[in-house]
Structure 1
């Protein structure tokens, strides 16, 4: 299965809008107060180099993860630069180019003779934070080389990877392999600080075909710990992305089987009702946009390799709900650091009505994630085109020896409408995903203007393209429904599990809903059979009702209106607290 080259894909719709917002955020230099007498200004050169020059007064609150921010910045801009005019306006290309070259030219002179960057290290000592940051720089330098063919960047990447080879034995000791380092402020000091370098090592091998880099990646791949030892989700999930790349590079099914096994454990024990994951598996009160992006990407990659429906369904759930909830109005990405607790179905903000942007990592990594999501809206091989995510798109690509033109137009997830137009001389199968929550009998499909009953298999509806042109229109209802989420005792603990097991999700199609005003925990939410809704300026509002007591359910005069909206609209309507689980017997 092939994921399209984004230079040939013009992405619109919500994914396109959010990706452009995220990119524009990375090109601005907004000043943030951090503490008394200290402000940070991402993404100036001084800011990006501060953790390498050990200048905490110029950097972020997380300024000790050497090369982390410069590496992430170089990585995402290198990935996006070639796609001017398809993922973002052409006029932004020069600015991206200038900022990218400025960052690379600032970083390269800071490489030490040993191969690492920045502050001098004590020989024989492990540096979890520095190593984790350097992993991002390794990946970023290779991505920059791919688009620039800069021998200086490639040489620096090789020198850094050779340093990993020389110091690998340090990471095989019992001390280094502890699940987590003890001490205050060490919540993210974990063994996967090291193992997520697999991603960059495989990328470097792909660029150079020098076997020593792939061999080291294989060695580290055998050391990766299981989910029970994961602790910090972003580092663990980044490691799994690397193992997927290792499978692609080697074809060794051991690596694919390993990721699928970990997926099962994460799905059973480590996911939230939103489809996302917490930041830390020892504390469940915060999330991290980076982890949500990783989890979405892992599911998309597993879908392309296995065509197992559970992966693409999970991807859509986390993308349309938790990941989009994490995006701020300025285009950056945030975290639940405002007093919310996932065990209570709450996600909040530090400052009432304002997102607390995690510009030091999430804003960059989630932009990378959105670009990967855009690549998976459709996929194809020589005989089939799969429509995986419903989003506006136009593309021209080669399928075998023929050119294919594809247009996707949709109102999803606001309305159940999808239109596809395909032009090509060859014949092939078009497979359109049927969302898991949607009953097949409620789907109306017209093929070239005529009603058609299509085959449904493995979650996809198949239409055969035989002529030069194919036009498919699909209409289906988006209904408000109630679900009882699976809540793992592993996350919630025995007492909390019992306390929360009766809570409900309210959804509109794929979108988890929240009330736009405060609702008491004791409130009983009533979901009418055909609730009124309106869409204004691209935002959805649905009228549900609430009552104070059980007897009031039968007394319509006691009902009072409560407006609900998708939690993804947090980007455009930031609230003090998002409440997405409702304990008091949701009724329909």
Structure 2
């Protein structure tokens, strides 16, 4: 793979944060241990923005009939327009993860879908049509998403039927397909022994098999599977994703699998490769509100599926590298990409316009995609709730503020904290220690994003102001936590006229942001808000132009069909403005 390198932009405010906190104590950097992902059962979300928006999607899932899930996008005859196992697998994954994240029992329709699957299996033990012996059918290989769903379902329920069906996928698709990849794009073998039946739309999606292979590897480990995954990653590195105009979702879920493989086996070249894949995506196929082109070089629409995976990839990259730019990207993708992609007046996800290229200044919904994006969005909510905090050896790391109660199971005893916040609309967060079973000092690390106004940062512990201690863009609070302790962190967030992510796509234009929120104007006709426009805050992240009857509103609210007060009346949000 060629690396189409540009320099990743790191917000200049991160530099300002370090320079301006003159009254702050800066701690020396230390060699960190890798943060540890927490179990869903130890994270209880509470009322707030994320729970509300996740609830839209969860309630939609509960209304699905088993027939809808089992027949949508499905065929038992070879087709370039049906992906057997794909919709089913996405629903299994999202319904399982979102139910766990929301502390809900297994939905009845999920039980019925699982009960129906054994009767749908073909003679090789998977769904859809029987693949050719060489397995070189890119569309038929959509069973890989079914494998992901079966893995997540088994890890939650320990259902033996799910385990057996998943084993069939590994034995009859994942393991036998390796040779076919020598004949894929940038083929190593030229004898034409294998001819791929390529998917005409989702270019290069076949390598997405790396994702379920790595997810299921702990269930079905073998030297043969390990060797195959290593070889598939090597072959994938040979493909120029930009040159072939690869589908972005396929690139991102393959990247997720490569990162998982790095976690399991620690080959640094795999981490470097995953970073290069994400950088190419960010620099060449990300829109001005942090969504995605559907393909490299083809900014025709965005896709909710890819937004979900870009979000999980950034959070995983931060966990594995500690690089702050990935964590900031996660905030920006969550609030401006994922939430703005939620469609209509429900929990669907789908396609939006690409802001930035093609002279497009408007963000608009272009329709739900119930066969793919809608049944992938729930996974996005579940993972962001899970990855908003991580365990460290002696405490807790908070990466994204949100209302929840978290139990950190530490070597010296458990620590239970309740977090309340108005973020992203306001810069404040409050922690209450509900219980602490350790007399040892514990450290609470709280991420301080670059849009924080440095001189506004204040920290209070049990009503007393303390001097903030900062290390690597995190506030460090080290103390022996006691039941009843109250920790309050307050900071202002910058409202700013910002350059485009990539100004050459739309020269002479700018955006407006408040904190992590991209702001938009409810309009389907281009309006003028030049750089010198004066604004005043009107609350909840909104800003009113002083000399015009225009109010900028967070795009995540403008595109929320259930938000009666803020949703766009025109169905359109202008987010780019002429200088």
Same fold (TM over 0.5): yes
Paired residues for 1:145-544 under 5 Å: 145-163=154-172, 164-174=174-184, 186-188=200-202, 190-191=203-204, 193-224=205-236, 225-229=239-243, 231-328=246-343, 329-336=345-352, 343-350=359-366, 356-422=367-433, 423-424=435-436, 425=438, 426-469=440-483, 470-487=485-502, 497=505, 500-522=506-528, 524=530, 527-528=533-534, 531-535=536-540, 541-544=542-545
SS state at 1:477 partner: strand
Q: Which residue of 2 aligns with 1:34?
A: none
Equivalent residue number for residue 35 of structure 1: none
Change (3 A) 1:440 1:104: same
* Distance of aligned partners of 1:182 and 1:275 in 2 relative to their CA distance in 1, 3 Å threshold: farther
CA distance in 2: counterparts of 1:155 and 1:27, whole angstroms: 26
Q: Secondary structure at the match of 1:297?
A: helix
Note the residue ranges of structure 2 that are not aligned, 5 or more in a row: 1-34, 189-194
Alpha-carbon distance in 2 for matches of 1:483, 1:173? 46
Higher mean alpha-carbon deviation, 464-473 vs 435-444, is at: 464-473
- TM-score, structure 2 as length reference: 0.83
Deviation, structure 1 residue 346: 2.1
Q: Does 1:118 align with 2:134?
A: no
Q: Structure 1 residues 340 and 383 mapped into 2: Cα distance closer, same or farther (>3 Å)?
A: closer
Which shows bigger deviation, 193-202 or 256-265? 256-265
- Deviations along 1:30-73, whole A, 9 cap, x unmatched? xxxxxxxxxxxxx53255235444499xxxx9951111101111
With over 3 angstroms needed to count, the CA separation of the structure-2 counterparts of 1:62 and 1:403, relative to structure 1, is farther
Q: Are the counterparts in 1 of residues 288 and 356 from structure 2 also a CA contact under 8 Å? A: no
Aligned to 1:69: 87
Name whichever of 403-412 and 566-575 sits farther off. Answer: 566-575
Q: Secondary structure at the match of 2:368?
A: coil
**Counterpart contact for 2:391–2:408, Cα < 8 Å:** no
**Cα distance change of structure 1 residues 367 and 509 upon mapping to structure 2, 3 Å threshold:** same
CA RMSD of aligned residues (A): 2.8
In 2, are the aligned partners of 1:415 and 1:477 still within 8 Å (CA)?
A: yes
The Cα shift of 1:405 comes to: 0.9
Rounded to whole Å, the distance in 1 between the matches of 2:341 and 2:478 is: 39
Q: CA deviation at 1:258?
A: 1.3
The answer for the alignment partner of 2:18 in structure 1 is none
Gaps of 5+ in 1: 30-42, 351-355, 490-496, 546-558
Aligned-residue offset at 1:349: 3.2
Name the CA distance, whole Å, in 2 between partners of 1:523 and 1:404.
Answer: 49
Equivalent residues, number? 522
Check the 8 A contact 2:94/2:377 in 1, yes or no.
Answer: no
Distance 1:523 1:420 in 2: 39
Report the equivalent of 1:492: none
Q: Matches of 2:98 and 2:556 in 1, distance apart? A: 24
Q: Is 1:80 the counterpart of 2:98 in the alignment?
A: yes
Q: Is the partner of 1:515 in helix, strand or coil?
A: strand
C-alpha deviation, 1:5, in angstroms? 0.9
Instruction: Report SS of the residue matched to 1:272.
Output: coil
For the pair 1:129 / 2:135, whether they are aligned, the reply is no
More contact order relative to length (CA 8 Å, sep ≥ 6): 2
**1:182–1:149 CA distance, 2 compared to 1 (3 A):** closer
Residues 365 and 346 from structure 1, CA distance in 2 versus in 1: closer, same or farther, beyond 3 angstroms?
same
